[in-house]
């Protein structure tokens, strides 16, 4: 078996989840970016308020995509626990985003559209990396098949990428 094939087989689940997370994330990004700029331009809100409102809307959209598509194969727990964990961790991602945007607009005083949008993009990327890691680790844990294998005494979980 080639090295590339072995790598793919070993990390297949991680690759598939990352790709799906990316699709859901692009939709969330569009809601965040377009919403932030519309609220800023049409609503007269400052960058942080506009981004907070737009990101909360995007979090609701990405919750649905994450729960019912990206991580649908993972073990389910109480919906209330999953929802609270998802929104709590998404809130941490929002704080990462706002820190980048706030640093640029308030600390550096750069409030121009291009500069603020670059800061927003950097914040979204950093927040998204945190969200992907934390959702896999704490919201939707091991895939259902691995949980069943473990409960049946089949031994160790074989997909090291699924462990977090």
Residue 99 binned pLDDT confidence (cut-offs 50, 70, 90): very high
Average pLDDT, the chain: 85
Share of the chain above pLDDT 90, in %: 59
- Would you state the pLDDT for residue 162? 43
Give the range of the structural domain holding residue 99, as residue numbers without chain letter. Answer: 3-163
CB 53 within 8 A of CB 123: no
User: Based on the structure, what is the number of domains in the chain?
Assistant: 1
In Å, how far from its chain's centre is CA 90? Answer: 7
Q: Which residue has the tokens 């799906």?
A: 20
Alpha helices in 42-78 (DSSP H): 47-65
- Would you state the pLDDT for residue 147? 46
- Would you state the pLDDT for residue 33? 92
- pLDDT tens-digit profile of 72-87? 888 778 889 889 999 9
Distance CA 82, CA 79 (A): 5
Instruction: Name the DSSP letter for residue 73.
Output: T
Q: Provide mean pLDDT across the span 125-134.
A: 93
Instruction: Name the DSSP letter for residue 74.
Output: B
Residue 10 binned pLDDT confidence (cut-offs 50, 70, 90): confident
Which among 22, 47, 19 is positioned nearest to 33, based on CA atoms?
A: 47
> Please, which residues bridge with residue 143 across strands?
74
């Amino acid at each position: 078996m080639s090295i590339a094939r072995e790598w793919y087989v070993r990390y297949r689940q991680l690759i598939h989840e990352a790709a799906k997370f990316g699709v859901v994330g692009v939709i969330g990004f569009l809601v965040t970016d377009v919403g932030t700029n519309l609220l800023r331009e049409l609503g007269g809100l400052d960058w942080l308020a506009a981004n907070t409102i737009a990101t909360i809307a995007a979090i609701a959209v990405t919750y649905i995509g994450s729960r019912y598509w990206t991580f649908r194969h993972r073990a389910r727990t109480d919906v209330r626990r999953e929802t609270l964990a998802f929104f709590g961790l998404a809130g941490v991602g929002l704080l990462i985003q706002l820190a980048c945007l706030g640093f640029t607009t308030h600390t550096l005083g750069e409030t121009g559209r291009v500069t603020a949008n670059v800061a927003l993009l950097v914040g979204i990327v950093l927040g998204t990396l945190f969200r992907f890691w934390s959702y896999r680790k704490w919201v939707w844990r091991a895939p259902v098949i691995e949980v069943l294998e473990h409960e049946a005494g089949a031994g160790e979980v074989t997909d090291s990428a699924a462990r977090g």
